[in-house]
Amino acid sequence: MPGAGAWRFPFRAMGGPCELRLYAPEEAEARRVAQAAQAEVMRLESHYTRYREDSITSRINAAAGGEPVPVDPETASLLEYADTAHKQSGGLFDITSGVFRRVWDFKSGVLPDQSEIEKTRQLVGWNKVEWSSTHIRLPLAGMQIDFGGFVKEYAVDAVARLCRELGIEHGMVDLGGDIHIIGPHPDGQPWQVGIRNPRDPEKAIVSIGLLSGGLASSGDYERYMLVDGQRYCHILNPGTGWPVQGLASVSVAAPLCLLAGTASTVAMLKGREEGVSWLRELGLPHFWVATDGQTGGDYAPAADAGRSIS
């Protein structure tokens, strides 16, 4: 795109800082695309957030133990994806496991009682859910589903697709660290994306060059608490109700950010040995950091990894 300028549009959505970087001949054109993209993010956030009573998520959860709730085609497709991810992860990717937040308060610094975890665990299990392309029913009162584990990555891909449809050939979508590269810089150079050091999140531990596609990371550094020197993070195993151990962070690159995000989360849930082996078998470019500081994957840490996207 000869003569195109690079325009940046920061905003906040889905609980964190977001940014669009778009190449376009004129700022007005880039701004028009950015406004449409932000509107799409806001639409998805309002539709799937659990913080609004009128969202589809809240309506489904409020009806738990009662009658089926109608779902729109987009929600049906997300349920289909969640079902596939649940099967392919051996049950580790489970959108009913968010109910554990009732017993885990990471601001308290106090571990929950095992009896409370066991009681809550009875409400967890995607296999319990009754669903179709038109309806969903949570059979037990108190059950919940939460699209939060993957709707942000879905939104990243949706926004990137929209930008392409509106004429953007080179750019980047970043929603709280979940990324989709629309295309390289106009000179053909890749975008350099810094991956956070899980023990020093303001710095990057490795820099990854991307020409297109998605990148997502999961880690134990976003929400956690330390109890007797042990770190307990917000990524909870749906089978045990306890936080994952072994891996501090996992980053995966894939054609879609949705796939990258699911892969990184599942690897965290599987733990160090099984998770690393699974990532190798998956065949997607990845980078991991273990809780003991060891690293591995397809990218080598570098002293000049950088701190931001360029």
pLDDT tens readout for residues 234-279: 999 999 999 999 999 999 999 999 999 999 999 999 999 999 999 9
List CB contacts of 149: < 8 A, sequence separation 6 or more.
93, 95, 98, 265
Please give the pLDDT value at position 3. Answer: 55
**Residue at 40 is within a domain:** no
Residue where a domain terminates, one of 145, 175, 202:
145
- Whether 17 contacts 10, CB under 8 Å: yes
> How far is CA 148 from each of CA 64, 172, 185, 262, rounded to the nearest angstrom?
18, 22, 31, 12
Are 162 and 135 found together in one domain?
no
The span from the CA of 26 to the CA of 38, in Å, is 19
**Residue at 99 is within a domain:** yes
**Residue at 44 is within a domain:** no
Residue where a domain terminates, one of 102, 117, 145:
145
pTM of the model: 0.94
**Residue at 141 is within a domain:** yes
DSSP, collapsed to helix, strand or coil, labels residue 36 as: helix
Tally of structural domains, the chain: 2
List CB contacts of 310: < 8 A, sequence separation 6 or more.
191, 192
Are 9 and 84 found together in one domain?
no
**Residue at 50 is within a domain:** no
Read off the CATH number of the domain in which 10 is found.
3.10.520.10
Q: Which residue segment(s) compose the domain that 10 sits in?
A: 5-22+153-297
Residue 157, φ and ψ in degrees, nearest 5: -65, -40
Please give the pLDDT value at position 164. Answer: 98
The span from the CA of 121 to the CA of 124, in Å, is 5
The span from the CA of 230 to the CA of 309, in Å, is 32
Are 160 and 18 found together in one domain?
yes
| Beta-bridge partner residues of 137 | 130
CA angle 5, 43, 17 (to 5 degrees): 55
Read off the CATH number of the domain in which 130 is found.
1.10.3980.10
Task: Report how far apart the first and last C-alpha atoms of the chain are (Å, whole number).
Answer: 18
- Tell me which amino acid residue 250 is: V
**Residue at 45 is within a domain:** no
Are 188 and 129 found together in one domain?
no
Residues (pLDDT < 70) of the chain are 1-3, 302-310
Residue where a domain terminates, one of 129, 145, 161:
145
The percent helix, strand, coil of the chain (3-state, each to 5) is: 35, 30, 40
- Closest by CA position to 186, among listed 213, 203, 211, 149: 211
